[in-house]
Copies of this chain bind each other. A is one copy, B any other.
Amino acid sequence: MAARVQVSALDAHLGYWLRYVSNHVSHSFKLKIETRGVTVAEWVVIRALYDVKVGAAHLLADELGLTRGAISKLVDRLVTKSLVARRSSKSDRRYQELALTPSGRDLVPQLAALADGNDEEFFGDLKRQERELLTDLLKRIVRARGLKTVPVD
């Protein structure tokens, strides 16, 4: 018998299934929130700002694992959409103070509800225990591999 199955199938990999499901979940979420005029990347930014109240761009970049250039463009769009306000700090004018506008602050809970609904839609069929198991396994991989930064795409 010669060696066989030297070439694994795409779907022989856990990474394949992970990406498969993840892409569908994200895509579905994207469709939901674009009815509110935001992209997933923008959502991640405003959700972060919702908690910190005010933040500098470079802190966001660190927290979200994006470059300063990327953040700059994202914030540009959010400012255009009147969801984020940008003003330079008085104490150090290199910094910017980023904060949600009232309408930005209003929007976050609505988007969070869409995120909840999306999760329910995809994982609602799993038993509570199975959901926890899945979450735990994923978190374990994050810990074991020391993964950092929030994925945005």
Query: Chain A interface (Cβ within 8 Å of chain B)?
Result: 6-10, 13-15, 17-26, 29, 44, 47-48, 50, 108-109, 112, 115-116, 118-119, 121-123, 125-126, 130-131, 133-135, 137-142, 144-145, 147, 150-151, 153
Provided the pairs A7-B112, A10-B44, A19-B151 are in contact, do residues A137 and B130 lie with their beta carbons within 8 angstroms?
yes
Can you spell out 27 A-B residue pairs with CB atoms less than 8 angstroms apart?
A7-B109, A8-B115, A8-B116, A10-B44, A10-B115, A14-B122, A14-B123, A14-B138, A15-B29, A15-B122, A17-B135, A17-B142, A18-B21, A18-B138, A19-B25, A19-B26, A20-B147, A21-B147, A22-B22, A22-B23, A24-B145, A123-B141, A126-B141, A130-B137, A133-B133, A133-B137, A134-B137
Given contact pairs A15-B119, A18-B22, A21-B141, a sample of 9 additional A-B residue pairs in the complex whose CB atoms are under 8 Å apart = A10-B47, A10-B150, A14-B122, A14-B135, A15-B26, A20-B138, A20-B142, A121-B145, A122-B145
On chain B, the residues within 8 Å of A142 by CB distance are 17, 20-21
State the CA gap A9–B44 with chains docked (Å). 10
